Amino acid sequence: MRARNPAAALLGVLGVLLVASPWALGLATPLSVATTIEEAMRRGIVIFDETIFERLREIDVVVFDKTGTLTTGQMSVIDADAPADLLAAAAALERRASHPAAEAIAAEFAPVDGVDDSTLPDGGLADESNQEHGGHIQDFSSHSMGVEGVVADTKVLVGHPDLFERRGWTVRNDLLTQVTDARSFGRLPVLVGRDGRAEGLVIVGDEPRERWDDTVTQLSEQGIDIVVLTGDDEDAAEFFSQHPHVDHVFADVPPAGKTATVRRLQADHYVTMVGDGTNDAPALAQADLGISLGSGTAIASDAADLAIVDDDLESVETAFDLARAARRRVRQNTVLALLYNAISIPLAAIGLFNPLLAMAAVVTSSGLLAMNSFRELLDK
């Protein structure tokens, strides 16, 4: 029996060593993750942690903060039914309050256009030229439920219906009906009155974001439970609780209570928190995965694992789609790498692959993985 040429044997061994190197397998996952992160960036999603796609697949509860996340976060006057002079007086009072609803009322019915009374020596309270627009204000006081004061010698009260009840002021039944209707749409009703009785209503709203319900529906159809957190009362949150794909609404939750709520949910679930404000940051950090919206604060972004730059709520659902697509791509690349090894190693072992052909096979397999990885991940 003739001995095999030592040089040929050496070339065969080198061919096997080259094609058996785990280059393709080593590229399968990193390439998929890198291209998914790039795709996310193109869609306005910033990834702070490369493990986020693995973690997204485990999520079974998504918690949305209501104000600024499911809604625009910008209070505005939607409707008003009250005498014009009373609205001007109410605006004069609200200019001295710090609540977002107060700012909306003050901006809508500002007593003096283009004048900020905070720049005046006494805050504008003693400016006699301002009396015809809102009047001289005395005995001003601000409460958690509203404001009150004497405007042009008339006692004016602005705020929550409960504040009127506590003060013993009369509220007509038709106004109470309007209050209930406004709350059913997730809006904030503000009563305005003078001299012991309510005379009208201002409806202030933080409008829901466009297509928020589509985002919630799509996530729910993936088997994810939807939870909404809000500091508003249950009546104001009813608009969201009525949505068929919202599983639970936690109302009257103070900023400090958001973290505790997320922690309780984590006892049985993997939780994603979606928020935008500074007071959301602890909850974002507590959650298994935190997502911040681009319009939010820097503190919220720092606490999150993922940031949506363009402030598009639908990008939350896109992030979950990318996670599933990344997993599919990793599987495809792994199959390609294993298929390459299954074919090339036996061929090299029987001497059909010299080192040059082996290197060509390695380059070809890597090229196939790259081509597969750079294909479009999502159709939409």
pLDDT of residue 152: 87
For 264-285, what is the mean pLDDT?
A: 90
**Long-range contacts at 359-364 (CB < 8 A, ≥ 24 apart):** 359/18, 361/18, 361/19, 362/18, 362/19, 362/21, 362/23, 362/24
User: What mean pLDDT is reported for the chain?
Assistant: 82
Position 21 pLDDT exceeds 60 = yes
Give me the pLDDT at residue 7, please: 64
Q: What is the pLDDT of residues 54-65, one digit of tens each?
A: 899 899 999 999
pLDDT score recorded for residue 79: 92
- Structure confidence at residue 216 as a pLDDT band (50, 70, 90): very high
Ordered domains of the chain (ranges, CATH): 74-207 (3.40.1110.10)
Q: Which residues are catalytic?
A: 65
Q: Are 373 and 334 in contact (CB under 8 A)?
A: no
pLDDT category of residue 225 using cuts at 50, 70 and 90: very high
Predicted pLDDT of residue 295: 61
CA neighbor of 100 nearest in space, from 207, 183, 252, 175: 207
Answer yes or no: is pLDDT of 145 > 80: yes
Judged by average pLDDT, the poorest of 182-191, 233-242, 255-264 is 233-242
pLDDT tens column, 95-141: 988 777 888 999 999 755 443 444 333 344 434 334 434 457 888 88
Integer Cα distance of 131 and 151 in angstroms: 9
377 has a pLDDT exceeding 90: no
Q: Which of 42-51, 115-124, 271-280 has the lowest mean pLDDT?
A: 115-124
Q: pLDDT tens for residues 288-339?
A: 999 998 765 666 677 888 999 888 899 999 999 998 888 888 888 888 888 8
Hey, which of 12-26, 35-49, 161-175 has the most confident mean pLDDT? 161-175
